[in-house]
Amino acid sequence: MTNQQDILSSVIQSVKLDDANDTLIILDQTLLPNEKVFLELKEMEDVWDAIYYLRVRGAPAIGIAAGYGVYLGTKQSQAATYDELYADFLKVKEYLASSRPTAVNLFWALDRMDARFKKEAGKSVAEVKAALHEESELIRSEDEQICKNIGEYALSLLKPGMGLLTHCNAGTIATAKYGTALAPMYLGQERGYDFKVFADETRPLLQGARLTAWELKEAGVDVTLICDNMASIVMKEGKIQAVLVGCDRVAENGDTANKIGTSGVAILAKHYGIPFYVCAPLSTVDLNTKTGDDIHIELRPSEEITTKFYAKPQAPEGVQTYNPCFDVTDHNMITAIITENGIAYAPFEESLPKMFKNNK
Ligand SMILES: CSC[C@@H](O)[C@@H](O)C(=O)COP(=O)(O)O
């Protein structure tokens, strides 16, 4: 326990509201690590674009952006009564819900804003707008403590000096702060755990290379970037003692959707006898989705595979592509699901609902 300090105290906030100007400020994650550009979003269309084009990404950050987006969109309504405002609110909600299908945090945040709207029944238009503002801010601020709790629970499963593998980016910029899968790495760094982190580059959009390697390196964490197809060799060579990943939706039986390639990593981990941990805020656990078969997997444009991030195309023009953005890791591959309220083990259909019961 050396170096007790908040290494993220000066971290960039990737999604925040500029209260004075009612503007959503997001760090454009598509430009990292080369440029740190902040975008100022005022219109709900800008928020939709930012989510769809992955300028803001990662399940919790998408939820936070959606909460702010629904507030900003509704605020512009000229409605004179509560009912008229609700009609406008529902249009904004439906519109933002169409931006990305897999991360359940998007829908969770929109439903939470809806519940708050209904709680304000009978109030004036101005009061309801103020309540939406407050709720969107709560979604962001609560996420910080949620991620820290996940980090503490995850850290309790790890030992100093371990080699850790992660896929995609479940880090501080994918959340309000700390991240989910990266939270124990930051807390471990503060406490002298000396983890050796291996980051899969995460094709096709390189969230591991551009974002995870970048943010861990900035924080001084020992991080080594590998190509996705190198995960097997680093496991075989004994460099990895645990795999930690984030998630976009966890079904009731524990099946977990996360960035494409995650299920392959889980299968490899099982083969080599390495624990595979999913770090999941309860906003990502969807008990209404029974199994992974019920999860809608987003398909994305082919240029993400063929041309994006390359100076020249790296595939023949017009070649057919298949670009599923996420895959589902079977619950049998998962050692534990780490939430802010505790660690869930199989059978997940029994342990996951109990995590919600711990909610105050
Ligand atoms: C804490 S973020 C968890 C997940 O959202 C993350 O691992 C992931 O798959 C993100 O995918 P992306 O397409 O970049 O939004």
Q: Are residues 288 and 243 in the same domain?
A: yes
Average pLDDT value over all residues in the chain: 95
Query: Is the pLDDT at 1 greater than 70, yes or no?
Result: no
Residue 308's pLDDT is what? 83
Q: Which among 146, 161, 182 is the end of a domain?
A: 146
Q: What percent of the chain has pLDDT over 70?
A: 97
Query: Residues near ligand 1 with C-beta < 6 Å?
Result: 54, 57-60, 103, 168, 170, 174-175, 179-180, 207, 246-248, 258-259, 325
Phi–psi pair at 265, nearest 5 degrees: -65, -40
Crossing angle of helices 59-75/104-119, nearest 10°? 40
- Quote the CA–CA distance of 335 and 249 in Å, as a whole number: 17
> Is the model's pLDDT at 231 over the cut of 80?
yes
9 domain-assigned: no
d(CA 252, CA 246): 16
What is the mean predicted confidence (pLDDT) over 165-187? Answer: 97
Structural domain span for residue 206: 150-357
**Residue 358: predicted pLDDT:** 66
Last residue of a domain, one of 129, 146, 163: 146
Q: What is the pLDDT of residue 309?
A: 80
How many domains in the chain? 2
Kindly state the average pLDDT of the residues 312-341.
Answer: 96
CATH number of the domain enclosing 272: 3.40.50.10470
Alpha-carbon distances of 238 from 129, 226, 234, 248, 267, rounded to whole Å: 55, 15, 7, 29, 16
Say which residue the tokens 């041309």 belong to: 307
Q: Could you report the per-residue pLDDT of 190-203, keeping only the tens digit for each?
A: 999 999 999 999 99
Distance CA 32, CA 25 (A): 16
Residues 116 and 35 in one domain: yes
CATH for 55? 1.20.120.420
Q: Does residue 107 carry a pLDDT above 90?
A: yes
- Going by C-beta distance under 8 Å and a sequence separation of 6 or more, which residues neighbour residue 204? 304, 305, 308, 323
Average pLDDT of the segment spanning 27-41 = 96
Query: 142 and 156 in one domain?
Result: no
Do 238 and 164 belong together in one domain?
yes
- 127 and 158: one domain? no
Q: Report residue 154's pLDDT band, with 50, 70 and 90 as the boundaries.
A: very high
Domain assignment of residue 3, yes or no:
no
User: What pTM, to 2 d.p., does this model score?
Assistant: 0.96
- Please say if 228 is a catalytic residue: no
Domain boundary at 146, 170, 195, which? Answer: 146
- Read off the pLDDT of residues 261-315 as tens digits, 9 standing for 90 and up: 999 999 999 999 999 999 999 999 999 999 999 999 999 999 999 988 888 888 9
Same domain, 24 and 123: yes
Whether residue 295 is contained in a domain is answered as: yes
In this structure, the answer to whether residues 136 and 159 fall within a common structural domain is no
- Residue 7, in any domain of the structure: no
Mark whether 124 and 162 lie in a shared domain: no
Which atom in ligand 1 lies closest to the alpha carbon of residue 205?
Answer: 14
Query: Does one domain contain both 123 and 27?
Result: yes
Please report the ipTM that was assigned to this predicted complex.
0.99
Identify whether 196 is part of a domain. Answer: yes
| Buried-exposed string 334-359: b where 16+ CB fall within 10 A, e elsewhere | bbbbbbbbebbeeebeebbeebeeee
Q: Which of 217, 165, 216, 161 is nearest to 194 (CA)?
A: 161
- Per-residue pLDDT band for 2 (boundaries 50, 70, 90) equals very low
103 and 156 share one domain: no
Any known ligand binding at 112? no
Residue-level pLDDT at 120: 98
Residues 189 and 248 in one domain: yes
Q: Tell me, in angstroms, the distance from the centre of ligand 1 to residue 100's CA.
A: 12
Out of 52, 166, 169, give the residue to mutate to test ligand 1, the one with the largest number of ligand atoms within 8 Å of its CB: 169
Distance between CA atoms of 235 and 46, rounded to whole angstroms? 42
Determine how many CB atoms are found less than 10 A away from the CB of residue 316. 7
d(CA 67, CA 51): 12
Which sign, positive or negative, has the C-alpha torsion 138, 143, 149, 150?
positive
pLDDT, tens only, 51-94: 999 999 999 999 999 999 999 999 999 999 999 999 999 999 99
Q: What is the DSSP letter of 296?
A: P
Residue 5 has pLDDT above 70, yes or no: no
Pick the catalytic residue: 46, 200, 248, 286?
248
Same-domain check for residues 74 and 141: yes
